[in-house]
């Protein structure tokens, strides 16, 4: 079908093409639909992560206290809630502080490589599920994995997660980085022993390069951020874990206690997987909302039009360039969009400047520092405010930031502070 005609059907596209902020409520939310994944798939992923805990604990001593389980705290942020004027309780899911790679990618990305390692080791008769996986730190396994390659395309954080875990296991790993990727991420990856290739174009080009590298090499595993079921299920395992955290903190989720979860969205795998996990374990009273930059609203566009990965933000005149490097994606994942068609409550877009304002506010009110992409969720509760008998809880999913070098983080906070002061001055005039 003619794209222009398609676009003409959707009035919101006019606003989106002018980089204005929009909110899109999903008309198909809650409808029955076929889903390629089931609860057993998440259970399988969760069990695999448990089997690997002794390995993680040995290989990454920072995880020792948590017994080798890569998980983040759920923190209430009452000062931030007051500052934003949000009713109900406000929480931060601190994936920004996940061990090993400091972003949500430490869920899906690490899971996919662990599963790869397990599969290879089992094929060689060197590992059974009943074994102590702590032995994977030993020489024979390192030697085995060194005969295999891993390739991935990334705007930064996925590359970090894949690069760090792959190199640690002994794989030869190449990370193809898009123009949006920060220099410190490339430096860190090289330091960890990964090969980094840099590209002058966007995420799609970096992914295409990774795919091409793996295509003719049967010993090379390509981590396909746009289509990987393993990534998706690694993210989904968070649903089971969050249910436990909510129970432990006595946060109810039911008809009169709805839970709203705001997730920054790039290609859609991380927020999609988390949403699938939350819906599976918490049911109909958890509502997930995706946040995207006004310059790169690929999931909003893909879901609204029903075209999913067959439409790009460039098709409506946007450039896809944003300071939210983790969200700088022009075309959404068809896999994630397919599952989200009936599972995500809605999507909204947010201006880059606001990300820095939220970043600075969180640092000032709660002394928590997260990266710009991870701040997109703070705009969410403002769209959801409604007054009835319900006592709502809100979770902003902080998707990254703890590994950002201090100097760079200071510059982010400073940028947010200047923006705030400028706004305050304007108000006085």
Ligand X SMILES: *Cc1c(COP(=O)(O)O)cnc(C)c1O
Stretch that binds ligand X, among 24-32, 39-47, 268-276, 405-413 (CB under 6 A): 268-276
Question: Which member of 99, 153, 377, 400 binds ligand X (CB under 6 A)?
Answer: 400
| Closer residue to ligand X in complex, CB, 68/372 | 372
Q: Among residues 346, 324, 375, 343, which one has the least CA distance to residue 276?
A: 343
Query: What's the DSSP call for residue 376?
Result: G
Binding part of the chain for ligand X, among 98-106, 115-123, 129-137, 247-255 by CB under 6 A, reads 98-106
The yes or no reply on residue 271 touching ligand X (CB under 6 A) is yes
Q: Residue 90: which H helix or E strand, with range?
A: strand 89-94
Q: Give min distance, CB of 373 to ligand X, in A.
A: 4
Query: Contact between 374 and ligand X (CB under 6 A)?
Result: yes
Q: How far is the CB of 347 from ligand X (least distance, A)?
A: 12
- Contact flag: residue 344 with ligand X (CB under 6 A): no
Contacts of 117 (CB under 8 A, 6+ apart): 136, 141, 145, 169, 171
Q: Compute and round to an integer the Cα radius of gyration of the chain.
A: 21
- In DSSP terms, 89 is beta-bridged to 393
225 vs 253 by CB, closer to ligand X = 225
Residue among 153, 86, 37 at smallest CA distance from 384: 86
Query: What is the x/- site pattern for ligand X, positions 136-175, by CB under 6 A?
Result: ---------------------xx-----------------
CA distance linking residue 229 with residue 57, whole number of Å:
25
Contact between 266 and ligand X by CB under 6 A: the answer reads: yes
Our CB check for ligand X shows the closer of 153 and 266 to be: 266
* CB distance 398 to 370 below 8 Å: yes
Q: From CA 313, how far away is CA 263, in angstroms rounded?
A: 19
When asked if residue 264 is in the footprint of ligand X (CB under 6 A), the reply is yes
C-beta closer to ligand X: residue 133 or 356: 356
Residue 103 contacts ligand X per CB under 6 A: yes
Cβ atoms of 299 and 376 closer than 8 Å: no
Q: By the 8 A CB rule, do 358 and 323 touch?
A: no
Binds ligand X (CB under 6 A): choice among 45, 46, 104, 392? 104
Does 326 engage in binding with ligand X (CB under 6 A)?
yes
Span of 4-12, 14-22, 102-110, 351-359 interacting with ligand X by CB under 6 A: 102-110
Residue nearest to ligand X (CB): 266
Closest by alpha carbon to 368, among 381, 358, 354?
A: 358
Q: Counting Cβ atoms within 10 Å, is residue 245 exposed (0-12), middle (13-18) or buried (19+)?
A: middle
Q: Which residues bind ligand X (CB under 6 A)?
A: 103-105, 157-158, 264-271, 326-327, 371, 373-374, 399-400
């Amino acid at each position: 079908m003619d794209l222009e005609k398609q676009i003409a059907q959707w009035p919101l596209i006019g606003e989106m093409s002018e980089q204005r902020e929009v909110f899109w409520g999903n008309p198909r939310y809650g409808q029955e639909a076929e889903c390629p994944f089931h609860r057993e798939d998440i259970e399988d992923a969760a069990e695999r992560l448990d089997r690997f805990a002794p390995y993680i604990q040995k290989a990454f001593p920072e995880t020792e206290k948590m017994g080798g389980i890569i998980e983040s705290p759920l923190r209430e942020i009452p000062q931030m809630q007051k500052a934003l004027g949000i009713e109900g309780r406000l929480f931060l899911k601190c994936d920004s502080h996940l061990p090993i790679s400091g972003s949500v990618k430490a869920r899906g990305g690490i899971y996919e490589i662990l599963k790869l390692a397990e599969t290879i080791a089992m094929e060689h008769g060197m590992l059974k599920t009943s074994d102590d996986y702590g032995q994977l730190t030993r020489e024979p396994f390192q030697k085995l994995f060194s005969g295999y390659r891993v390739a991935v395309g990334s705007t930064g954080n996925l590359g970090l997660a894949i690069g760090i875990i792959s190199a640690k296991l002994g794989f030869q790993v190449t990370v193809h980085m898009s123009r949006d990727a920060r220099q410190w991420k490339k430096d860190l990856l090289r330091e960890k022993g990964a090969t980094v290739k840099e590209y002058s174009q966007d995420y799609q080009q970096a992914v295409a390069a990774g795919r091409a590298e793996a295509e003719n090499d049967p010993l090379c595993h390509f981590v396909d951020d746009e289509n990987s079921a393993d990534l998706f299920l690694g993210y989904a395992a968070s649903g089971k874990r969050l249910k436990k955290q909510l129970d432990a903190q006595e946060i109810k989720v039911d008809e009169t206690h709805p839970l709203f979860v705001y997730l920054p969205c790039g290609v859609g795998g991380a927020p999609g997987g988390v949403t699938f996990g939350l819906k599976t374990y918490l049911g109909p009273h958890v509502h997930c909302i995706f946040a995207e930059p006004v310059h790169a609203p690929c999931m909003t566009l893909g879901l609204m039009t029903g075209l999913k990965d067959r439409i790009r933000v460039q098709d409506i005149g946007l450039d896809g360039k944003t300071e939210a490097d983790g969200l700088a994606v022009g075309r959404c994942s068809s896999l994630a969009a397919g599952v989200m068609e009936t599972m995500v409550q809605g999507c909204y877009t947010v201006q880059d400047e606001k990300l820095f304002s939220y970043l600075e506010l969180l640092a000032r009110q709660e002394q928590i520092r997260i990266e710009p992409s991870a701040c997109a969720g703070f705009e969410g509760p403002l769209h959801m405010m409604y007054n009835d008998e319900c006592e709502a809880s809100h979770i902003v999913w902080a998707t990254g930031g703890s590994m950002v070098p201090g100097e760079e983080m200071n510059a982010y906070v400073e940028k947010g502070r200047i923006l705030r002061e400028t706004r305050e001055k304007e108000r006085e005039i």
